[in-house]
Each structure stands twice: as C-alpha cells, then as structure tokens.
C-alpha cells in the first residue's frame, strides 16, 4: 500500500435547484475548476474515475456515471459507480484512494453529484426513506427525520442534552456559511430563530435539518510521484476508516464501547451502548482511521473536522463517536464553545471550555448550511479540507475568514442511513 495525496478539487454552488444545468454540466464545472488549479495536469494523465450519486430516481437515468465520464472526455478509461446512501461521497473518496494506493492508478478522479430538485420534496423524502429497511421500518412511516428525532430523544433522556444545545449547532454552521459562497443557506441565526422555526419531528425544527440540493464536487487523488510533479501543495491522506451497522436499529445489539486510544473502560461504566443514541459504525470508522494515521487523541491532534451534520442532533452524536468528547458530553461540548471558530461572533455566551481544546467543526457550514446533494457531499467536505490544509481558503472563497492558522490535520466524515455506512478520512499537510 503506497501513500496517496489529494492534489485538486472543485465544487459547484449547492442550491435548492439548478434548473438550467443537468448533472453532467454540474460535474464538468467542478472538474474544470479543479483542472484550472492544476495547470500541469491534463486529461491524458488521469487514469480513471469513480463516480458517486445516491439515487437513479433523481436523474431518471440509469448509468448516469457513464454519461458523466463521456461528458468529461475520459472515455474509454475505467470508471465505476459508488452508492451508499448519505455516505456515498465519502465512500467514493475512499474508493479513489484504494485505486491509487493499490497501484492500479497513478491519478484517479473522484466525482459526485445529485439533482434532487427534479422531484417534489415529498417524493424526494420518499426516495431517501428507501435507504431504510423497506420490509420493516419504511412501511410504518420510516422517514429519516422521524428516526433522528427518536434518536435525539433518547440522547436527551440518557445524557440531558437540550434543544438549546441543538440550536447552537445550527447557529454555528449557518453563521460559518456566511463566508462560503458555495453554501445553499447561509444565515445569521439565534437560538430563538431555530426553536421558533416550523417543527418537523419533535424536537427537530426545519432549522435542525439539512436541505435537499442540486450540486456536484470532484476530488483528484494521486500517487506520490505524480502528486509532486503535478501539484505545488499536495495534501496526504493519512488515514481512512469505514464502519457499518444493522439497517434496523432494533437489530443492533448492546455491548462494550469500542474504545479509542485515549479512553478507558472506566469512562463508560454502566453505559448501554450503542442503543439508539450513538453510532457504533461511526466509532468503528474513527478507530480504524486514527490507527492508520497514528492519532492517539483526536481532540488534541486534529485541527478541524468536517462532519456529516444532516441534523443538529447527529453533529452532537458524532462529536462523541469521533472521541472529541466522551459519550454523553456532546451537549456540554457545544456549550463550552469547543466546535466554534474563535474569530467569529455567534451571539452566544460560552461556558469555560474545561478540558476541551477549541476544535472547529464544520467551518464550511456543513450540510445544515451548505446543503446535501448526496453524492457530492462527502467530496465537498474533502475539497474544503484540502483547501484548509493548503491554506487557500481565501483564494477559493474570495474571503479568508474561514481559514485556520496553519492547520496540520483535518478529518472528514460521511454518514448513511441511521449509521449503516460511515466513513472517516484524515488528511494532513505535508
């Protein structure tokens, strides 16, 4: 297994709808942007691609990835499609890593898209709900907002998490996105704004939920020699991990917490795990990625995280799965201000940070503010992490507000279903 580097990336603006563009054009816009930033890379040096999109229903087109491959001028090179629910983009990124790490390709394009506006919102929610168990959960009203409302209710019962803590996540991510021109719904919100928004599934309001979107993103990965030749500031992919769990939450057994290197059995004495308050697959993905990257304490060794915040509640749950804080402490982690950018005024009063170091989570705005065109989302996270580690946020966004000072390591995280597929990838500057 050889080292793999990210050398380029591009995204389109995520929007409620791009009626003037089909999926091929959106991917090409992101691809052309990435190529423009890599003047020494031509199509001839791209050995193949991996294409991610969640649902054929949104495009009304089977084998849409093959059409994108042709539109980009990459035929007859190898390509394949990746699909894994909400984790589709993250799985695509890791599949491209595998193509390069194995030696099959020197340069691999990871590309993803979704055109969710092509159907009515209720129909889009139905299509997404088909990623739950259609024999058991789906027939009894299994839409995802309901699942996540149930999970956060359990989190609140077990750990005392509050709706105000959920709302602060929405305030953070929408406020960050005011400096991201690619984001679908930047906004300066208050906790009161979030809580007074229309209720979707108690306790989640519409501001606690990400939006369906149209958009595309690409990431270009390369082996070491090609990366050095083609890119002035490549970023190394230091660790990858993936985890899974049973589709039906009722089938998930209780057992010991999967411990990370900085944790002990005593930290979780008496905790029923995972229950429906935590994502065992997320903990597994993180553990594998940390082991590969040599990370002993993520809260101290990571500089930022771009995670799959389909709901404010899932962001808090994921803090715990990633080991940024212990299980049960996610709400307090928010109150302490740990996942907020230090240079922005969110209109919130934070408690003393305690033992937690400030570690910005979703400086891009995350899914809550950027939107969630499913096949593109995980790749969008990779692009923002890449730009952060290159120090080029100001160049690409036209605004350096979201740029961190000399970040060394960042984590990206994609999540499908109620935790059935989860990916964690760690990128680091070189």
The residue assigned the tokens 């935590």 is 278
**Residue 151 and residue 280: Cα distance in Å, rounded?**
13
Nearest in space to 251 (alpha carbons), one of 423, 101, 136: 136
**Could you tell me the pLDDT band of residue 353, with boundaries at 50, 70 and 90?**
low
- Write out pLDDT tens, residues 279-329: 999 999 999 999 999 999 999 999 999 999 999 999 999 999 999 999 999
Greater confidence (147 vs 167) lies with: 167
- Write out pLDDT tens, residues 104-134: 999 999 999 999 888 878 777 788 877 888 8
C-alpha distances in angstroms, 344 versus 153, 189, 206, 367? 30, 13, 24, 19
- Write out pLDDT tens, residues 251-264: 889 999 999 999 99
pLDDT for residue 55: 86
pLDDT higher than threshold 80 for residue 16? yes
- Determine what percent of the chain is predicted with pLDDT higher than 70: 99
**Residue 14 and residue 104: Cα distance in Å, rounded?**
32
Question: pTM for the complete prediction?
Answer: 0.97
**Residue 7 and residue 227: Cα distance in Å, rounded?**
6
pLDDT for residue 37: 97
Greater confidence (66 vs 60) lies with: 66
Q: Cis peptide leading into 76, omega within 30 of 0?
A: yes
What is the mean predicted confidence (pLDDT) over 34-54? 97
Q: How deeply is 263 buried, as exposed, middle or buried, from its count of CB atoms within 10 A (0-12, 13-18, 19+)? A: middle
pLDDT for residue 352: 67
Greater confidence (419 vs 140) lies with: 419
**Residue 91 and residue 83: Cα distance in Å, rounded?**
8
pLDDT for residue 137: 78
pLDDT higher than threshold 90 for residue 275? no
Helix (H, G, I), strand (E, B) or coil at 184: coil
DSSP string, 375-407: HHHHHHHHHHHHHHHHT-HHHHHS--TT--SS-
């Amino acid at each position: 297994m050889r080292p793999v580097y990210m050398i380029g990336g591009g995204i389109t603006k995520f929007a409620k709808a791009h009626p003037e563009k089909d999926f091929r054009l959106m991917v090409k816009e992101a691809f052309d942007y990435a190529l423009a930033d890599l003047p020494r890379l031509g199509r001839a040096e791209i050995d193949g691609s991996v294409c991610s999109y969640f649902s054929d229903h949104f495009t009304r087109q089977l084998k849409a990835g093959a059409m994108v491959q042709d539109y980009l001028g990459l035929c007859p090179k190898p390509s394949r499609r990746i699909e894994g629910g909400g984790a589709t983009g993250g799985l695509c990124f890791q599949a491209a890593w595998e193509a390069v790490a194995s030696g099959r390709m020197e340069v691999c394009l990871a590309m993803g898209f979704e055109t969710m506006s092509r159907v009515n919102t209720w129909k889009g929610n139905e299509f997404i709900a088909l990623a739950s168990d259609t024999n058991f959960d789906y027939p009894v009203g299994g839409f995802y907002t309901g699942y996540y409302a149930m999970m956060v209710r359990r989190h609140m019962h077990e750990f005392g998490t509050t709706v105000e803590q959920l709302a602060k996540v929405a305030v953070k991510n929408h406020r960050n996105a005011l400096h991201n021109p690619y984001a679908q719904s930047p906004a300066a919100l208050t906790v009161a704004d979030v809580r007074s928004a229309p209720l979707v599934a108690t306790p989640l309001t519409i501001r606690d939920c990400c939006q369906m979107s149209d958009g595309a993103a690409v990431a270009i990965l390369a082996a070491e020699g090609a990366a050095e030749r083609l890119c002035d500031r490549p970023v190394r992919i230091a660790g990858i991990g993936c985890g899974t769990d049973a589709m039906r939450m009722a089938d998930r057994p209780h057992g010991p917490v999967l411990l990370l290197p900085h944790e002990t059995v005593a930290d979780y004495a008496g905790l029923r795990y995972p229950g429906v308050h935590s994502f065992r697959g997320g903990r597994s993905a993180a553990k594998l990625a940390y082991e590969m990257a040599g990370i002993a304490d993520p809260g101290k060794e990571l500089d930022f995280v771009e995670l799959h915040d389909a709901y404010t509640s899932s962001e808090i749950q994921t803090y715990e799965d990633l080991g940024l804080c212990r299980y049960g402490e996610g709400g307090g982690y928010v109150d302490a201000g740990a996942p907020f950018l230090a240079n922005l005024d969110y209109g919130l009063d934070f408690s003393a940070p305690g033992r937690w170091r400030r570690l910005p989570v979703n400086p891009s705005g995350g899914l809550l503010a950027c939107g969630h065109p499913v096949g593109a989302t995980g790749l969008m996270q990779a692009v923002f992490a890449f730009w952060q580690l290159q120090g080029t946020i100001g160049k690409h966004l036209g605004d350096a507000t979201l740029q961190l000072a000399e970040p060394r390591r960042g984590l990206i995280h994609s999540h499908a279903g109620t935790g059935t597929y989860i990916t964690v990838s760690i990128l680091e500057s070189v």
